[in-house]
Amino acid sequence: MFFRNVLSAADLAISCKPPLLRCNNITVGHARIQVRGSFQNARRGARRRTLEPNPLEQIHVDTGPLHPKDLFKPFVFTVGVSTASLVGCVIWEYENLRSHASSLLKRPGNWLSAQQKKIASQFKSEPGPIQKWWNSLRSSEKVFYPILAANVLVFGAWRVRSLQPFMVKYFCSNPSGRAKCLPMVLSTFSHHSALHLAANMYVLYSFMPAAVAFLGKEQFVAMYMSAGVISSFASFLYKVMLNQPGLSLGASGAIMSVLSYVCVQYPDTRLSIIFLPMYTFAAGTAIKVIMSVDLAGVILGWKFFDHAAHLGGALFGLAWCYWGGHHLWGNRDKFLQYYHNFRKDSR
């Protein structure tokens, strides 16, 4: 089983892009936590003196009225990033296959070549501990750890006060902001809360092995990157329709696509609550419950999470499962032939 003792349906629905600078509390799973750090002056005890002023109180956040025309550039950007992700990962797959084929051709074909290679290996330095660790990883882990590193790096940047105006502008998606398009991608690697980051990365780590095993690492990255920007656009669309500007950030839109894809591919797999492993439920049922909760949040206007981004990511995962993998990734042969000829002619 791939997912024994992972998160429950409620835990898996953890926020991808919780609204910032609106309320003092954010709901995570079933628990309500108080936002601390630079987003709020928290008090840890009645006798403690007032903390330093919140540096983000002096930062201007655009919250002007929204219009349908504001969606044109984000839509074009979404199509562009999705297309670039697909094309880039197809080229990545081609180069990996070419490199593998080249290494097979270079293998020694006779005893003399084998002896030459053995002598040459004696003069090579031993790989370092990092390289040994990297070589020991599974294929899915070699995709997960770079994603984790990017998220941790951005999380660390949030802790630097002098960078916070820059982080709010470029690492929080906001349909009314001056920078609309680039944050749609960057915000999917952005977490201000340590709990938010840890929960999202745990869910991704739990479900990534099954997704990578079915898709391959190149197709997985193409789907993940596309899902991130598409979930951001879904959030934009919802906010513009209701004329409710606000900041959003987090990776759960992309993670929801992975979750929905895996649950559809392996609907009978039994999932269990991490702290209550004796209670299990089918993966197909779990994704239905999660999407129903997010749909209710969109219809009823709940503001606990960015339910529109969650739902957009989950729907994209379903679309990739039933259509995208076959009609987009499956029909890449013509492009590969064009790229192969281009690469051969450019020598």
Residues labelled as active-site residues = 252, 310
Dig out the tokens for 217 from the structure.
């690492």
Question: How far is Cα 122 from Cα 111, in angstroms, rounded to an integer?
Answer: 17
DSSP conformational letter for 55: G
How far apart, in whole angstroms, are the C-alpha atoms of residue 295 and residue 283? 18
Q: How far apart are CA 26 and CA 19, in angstroms?
A: 8
In 3-state terms the chain splits into helix, strand, coil percentages (rounded to 5) of 65, 5, 30
- Amino acid identity of residue 160, one-letter, is V
Instruction: Give the burial class of 92: count Cβ atoms within 10 A of its Cβ; 0-12 exposed, 13-18 middle, 19 or more buried.
Output: middle
Instruction: Using alpha carbons, list the distances in angstroms from residue 206 to 20, 227, 318.
Output: 27, 18, 19
Q: What 3-state class would DSSP assign to 26?
A: strand
Q: What is the DSSP letter of 57?
A: G
How far apart are alpha carbons 261 and 269 in whole angstroms?
A: 13
